[in-house]
Amino acid sequence: MPRTAKIGSSPIPLAKEGNRRRARGIIAAALVIIFMRTLYARAADLEPLYSGEAVTNMAIRAERDRGADPVGYYDINDTVQILDVEPEWLFVRQKKGDKVTEGFVLRHLVNVSKQLDPSALPYGAVQSRHIATAMYDAPLYDRPSTGSSTLMNLPEGARVAILSISNGWAKIAYFRQYGYVYMSHMTDLEPVQPNAAAAKPGQLIAAFTTAYSTKEDQLNIGRMNNIKVACDYMQRQVMQPGETLSFNGWLGPFSGMRGYMEAPILINGTTMPGYGGGTCQVSTTLYNALLSLRGMTVLLRRAHGPSGAAYVPHGVDAAVGNATLDLRFRNDYGFPIAFETYAGGGILSIAIYIAQ
């Protein structure tokens, strides 16, 4: 079993920004649109990262919009070349004879089977760049603009994995899309080391955040409790070099005696009550942190069913709870790693450090 450890390095406090947030947010949103259009205008320079098969007949859309004009079509079982991966959409290239078509298809309509670029991370992996703490309840927007819709409020003290920072806005994972929080609302910014093998003890090497409902009905109260209980068991535990862990064996059994409550569980796309419901979101958050680390080998991971779990993009959920549903992984680094967790107010984060 893992041991506890002292982890983390001195965070960097952030200075508060000025009063020009609204204007800067509007400019930032415009710059994002311009950047994305420029990026995909240069798609001819991109090489496919992954390939897969269409699981149904489907349209290739001109934009990331289910109602956008189709620019091409895939038949079921056609090969799909993937140039870029987003939370809901894949940017793809289709070649039929001399005709080349590029556009967007829904992520859940492609069964990804092969990694074409050996330098790329595993399909679905997202590498966070920083982790930071909300100084107070901070609005999370659906675009980098204070005039956009609010997705939720990050609770004061929440630790959040940041995918990127641009023009004062932090981008984070939020269900099957991105959310944006203004950096003046965040503090204790800590970088994720880009090369874990070269990092030092106490440094952060991976992090991932997911969001969950805070609705106050009985089953969801149980779910929130179970997320917190699992995170508490994981907090500051150490995994030695060469060690293999089973999520079920590590944090289970998922019973009342261990502090777990009844809550909804998802099996093969069907929801039913059961002890430990919600722990799959903890295993999924952990799995996504592990995916960004080349020295961590995932030995067993099963999805919740064809549709996956809605709190992460399709294809990166990790169901747990019995002998066939487990997350098993091995530390192939030459150093021990340690886990730090946060769960509260609808935010679940897992950070991985080199143990001191």
Residue 27 banded pLDDT, cuts 50, 70, 90: low
Residue 140 has a pLDDT of 98
What tens digit of pLDDT does each residue of 36-79 get? 444 444 456 799 999 999 999 999 999 999 999 999 999 999 99
Q: Is 144 helix (H, G, I), strand (E, B) or coil?
A: coil
Q: How is the chain split among helix, strand and coil, in percent rounded to 5?
A: 20, 40, 40
What are the Cα distances from residue 190, in Å, to 80, 186, 244? 38, 11, 28
* Burial environment of residue 195 by CB neighbours within 10 A (0 to 12, 13 to 18, 19 or more): exposed
Q: Which of 239, 332, 352 is nearest to 7 (CA)?
A: 352
Residue 274 banded pLDDT, cuts 50, 70, 90: confident
CATH topology of domain 48-115: SH3 type barrels. (2.30.30)
What tens digit of pLDDT does each residue of 310-322 get? 999 999 999 999 8
What tens digit of pLDDT does each residue of 187-229 get? 999 999 999 999 999 999 999 999 999 999 988 999 999 999 9
273 vs 348 pLDDT, higher one: 348
What tens digit of pLDDT does each residue of 6-23 get? 555 545 454 444 455 555
pLDDT, mean of residues 149-174: 98
Structure tokens at 33: 């649109």
Residue 95 has a pLDDT of 95
Query: Is the N-terminal amide bond of 87 cis, ω within 30° of 0?
Result: no
Domain ranges of the chain: 3-12+125-354, 48-115
What tens digit of pLDDT does each residue of 135-148 get? 999 999 999 999 99
Q: Which residues pair with 328 in a beta bridge?
A: 246, 300
**Can you tell me which residue has the tokens 């009985």?**
218
